[in-house]
């Protein structure tokens, strides 16, 4: 039998109750379909078995029974449902009670479960079953009853790994979609918080939560990100990093355009500011947008400690960030082209330490940078119990052996170590990766053109950053020493009682976050 005969046969099978039927041809082309539920239970049973390849598909369970004198069956996926809930709250009342009732009466009087809905299209029924729901079909009814009995294997709520704090809550997101949204709900506790669910991936149908504050967030921004999510034509999206690449403004930018966090309190605070949070099933992180460059150098603990200390730590953090991508290039540029900028005694010490080294300053720094990155990568991939040991011992052994073998100078070890320590001060992983990539660019510029090359690189970087946007918001918004919205800019924190106005670039529906005089107990002067 050829392909045309098979297609005609399948079309004839479903002619009686078909609106749009999806047939995939040999070329892989398909049309969207919407088959309605039949009133005949045998037809529904045959359709379900055909879709799920039952009984070949061993984890698809179809339970046939009698209820209200009618033939019925339930279909669900083993290990995705709560078996106890399914048995006691759904199947037991339907099987044991003999009362005759219509479909509406069954959902209201027989099924003692709190999340029940009806569905008429097989496409949506299949999606619900694949998500862990139970679908009930009853003979004579042209509706399917959907019962939410999901019970996915999950880990508990644990402290965040990449954003640990001393002050503040020690709760982090996990891989469960509903748990993550509940953690945010627990903090916000406001009816204006909207949590839309958008399924991404044509095959995977991965649930993605689009979360925003209805009375604060700009509607144009919400519509834009909703439009991007609904227009992703891909079979599989399993991780938040994949989703980020599908919806970001500039795909070739080194700097990320979304802020990633695994802290519910961070996500909640950004929601109140008027931003949007995205949560994807299977990912223990959340995406926040729109963002600016200043937020990549800010930690959540900056909000939990008093502003003088937060600003001091932030200055130290900024110094470490600058060191992480500029120090190597500056050292090579100074040694190669700008000897006059080094004190004479220090210059003699550097030259004496490098006297027996066969490599140039650029060569030894490049060699040690690559070795350092290899050690760091290896320490991440090995089991955590020996990762820190590998990093410390590997760095000490390789550094000491390289100096004794006269491959590199001691000053090169110091420079690379300072660069590595500075990179650890970067709180955002995506931004840290961008700085690691930029470090090699500035190293090459410093080795070829000295300070002029590094200056040229900084100018080009500033030009590129000024053209990068996050959901239409320029990445360098609010970079002034005192921005127009009464914030002290992206580099410093104001006292919490002076953070009165939301950022102008968010175009929030409510401009103020608190009264102009929030501490009403203070006597006016």
Give the start-to-end residue ranges of the domains of the chain: 36-147, 177-291, 307-473
What is the overall mean pLDDT for the chain? 82
When computed from its CA atoms, the radius of gyration of the chain, rounded to whole angstroms, is 30
Residue 74: pLDDT band (50, 70, 90) is very high
Spatial separation of the C-alpha atoms in residues 511 and 516, rounded to whole Å: 12
Beta-strand pair 469-470/473-474: antiparallel
Spatial separation of the C-alpha atoms in residues 259 and 295, rounded to whole Å: 8
CB atoms within 10 A of CB 59: 11
Tell me the mean pLDDT in the region 121-136. 90
Whether pLDDT at 298 is above 90: no
Q: What is the pLDDT, as a whole number, of residue 108?
A: 67
Q: What is the pLDDT of residues 92-125, one digit of tens each?
A: 888 876 565 555 566 666 676 778 888 889 988 9
Q: Are 451 and 445 in contact (CB under 8 A)?
A: no
Residues 6+ apart with CB under 8 A from 89: 111, 112, 113
Q: Are 364 and 412 in contact (CB under 8 A)?
A: yes
Q: What is this structure's pTM?
A: 0.79
Q: What is the pLDDT of residues 327-345, one digit of tens each?
A: 999 999 988 888 878 888 8
* Phi, psi at 240, each rounded to 5°: -65, -30
Spatial separation of the C-alpha atoms in residues 172 and 254, rounded to whole Å: 27
Whether pLDDT at 24 is above 70: no
**What are 464's two structure tokens?**
């590129």
Q: What is the pLDDT of residues 302-312, one digit of tens each?
A: 888 888 888 89
Q: What is the pLDDT of residues 424-434, one digit of tens each?
A: 888 888 899 99
Spatial separation of the C-alpha atoms in residues 200 and 212, rounded to whole Å: 18
Tell me the mean pLDDT in the region 149-154. 78
- E-assigned strand segments in 10-131: 60-67, 70-77, 116-119
3-state secondary structure (DSSP) of residue 80: coil
Spatial separation of the C-alpha atoms in residues 225 and 248, rounded to whole Å: 10
Residues 6+ apart with CB under 8 A from 514: 497, 499, 500
Whether pLDDT at 280 is above 60: yes
Q: Which position has the token pair 């519509």?
A: 223
Spatial separation of the C-alpha atoms in residues 110 and 108, rounded to whole Å: 6
């Amino acid at each position: 039998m050829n392909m045309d005969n098979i297609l005609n046969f399948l079309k004839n099978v479903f002619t009686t109750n078909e609106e749009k039927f999806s047939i995939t041809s040999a070329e892989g082309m398909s049309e969207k379909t919407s088959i309605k539920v039949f009133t005949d239970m045998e037809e529904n049973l045959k359709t379900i078995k055909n879709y799920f390849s039952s009984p070949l598909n061993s984890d698809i369970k179809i339970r046939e029974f009698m209820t209200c004198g009618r033939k019925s069956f339930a279909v669900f996926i083993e290990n995705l449902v709560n078996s106890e809930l399914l048995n006691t709250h759904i199947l037991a009342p339907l099987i044991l009670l003999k009362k005759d009732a219509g479909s509406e009466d069954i959902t209201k009087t027989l099924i003692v479960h709190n999340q029940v809905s009806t569905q008429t299209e097989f496409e949506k029924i299949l999606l619900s079953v694949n998500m862990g729901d139970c679908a009930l079909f009853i003979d004579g009814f042209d509706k399917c009853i959907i019962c939410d009995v999901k019970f996915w294997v999950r880990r508990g709520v644990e402290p965040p790994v990449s954003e640990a704090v001393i002050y503040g809550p020690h709760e982090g997101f996990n891989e469960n979609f509903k748990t993550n949204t509940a953690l945010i709900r627990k903090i916000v506790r406001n009816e204006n918080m909207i949590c839309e669910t958008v399924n991404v991936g044509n095959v995977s149908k991965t649930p993605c939560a689009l979360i925003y504050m209805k009375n604060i967030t700009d509607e144009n921004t919400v519509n834009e990100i909703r439009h991007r999510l609904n227009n992703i034509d891909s079979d599989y999206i399993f991780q938040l990093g994949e989703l980020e690449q599908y919806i970001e403004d500039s795909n070739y930018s080194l700097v990320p355009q979304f802020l990633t966090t695994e802290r519910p309190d961070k996500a909640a605070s950004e929601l109140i500011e008027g931003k949007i949070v995205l949560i994807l099933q299977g990912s223990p992180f959340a995406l926040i947008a729109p963002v600016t460059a200043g937020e990549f150098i800010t930690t959540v603990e900056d909000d939990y400690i008093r502003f003088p200390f937060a600003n001091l730590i932030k200055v130290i953090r900024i110094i470490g960030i600058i060191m992480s991508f500029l120090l190597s290039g500056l050292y090579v540029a100074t040694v190669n082209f700008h000897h006059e900028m080094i004190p004479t005694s220090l210059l003699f010490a550097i030259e004496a330490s490098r006297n027996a080294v066969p490599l140039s300053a650029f060569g030894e720094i490049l060699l040690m940078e690559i070795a350092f990155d290899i050690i760091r990568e290896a320490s991440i991939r090995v089991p955590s119990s020996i990762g820190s040991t590998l990093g410390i011992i590997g760095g000490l052994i390789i550094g000491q052996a390289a100096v004794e073998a006269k491959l590199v100078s001691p000053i090169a070890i110091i420079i690379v170590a300072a660069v590595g320590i500075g990179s650890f001060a970067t709180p955002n992983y995506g931004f840290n990766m961008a700085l690691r990539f930029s470090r090699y660019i500035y190293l090459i510029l410093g080795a070829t053109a000295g300070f002029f090359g590094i200056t040229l690189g900084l100018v080009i970087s500033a030009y590129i950053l000024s053209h990068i946007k996050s959901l239409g918001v320029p990445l360098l918004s609010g970079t002034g020493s005192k921005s127009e919205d009464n914030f002290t800019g992206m580099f410093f924190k104001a006292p919490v009682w002076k953070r009165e106005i939301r950022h102008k670039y968010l175009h929030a529906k409510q401009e103020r976050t608190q009264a102009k005089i929030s501490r009403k107990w203070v006597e006016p002067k």
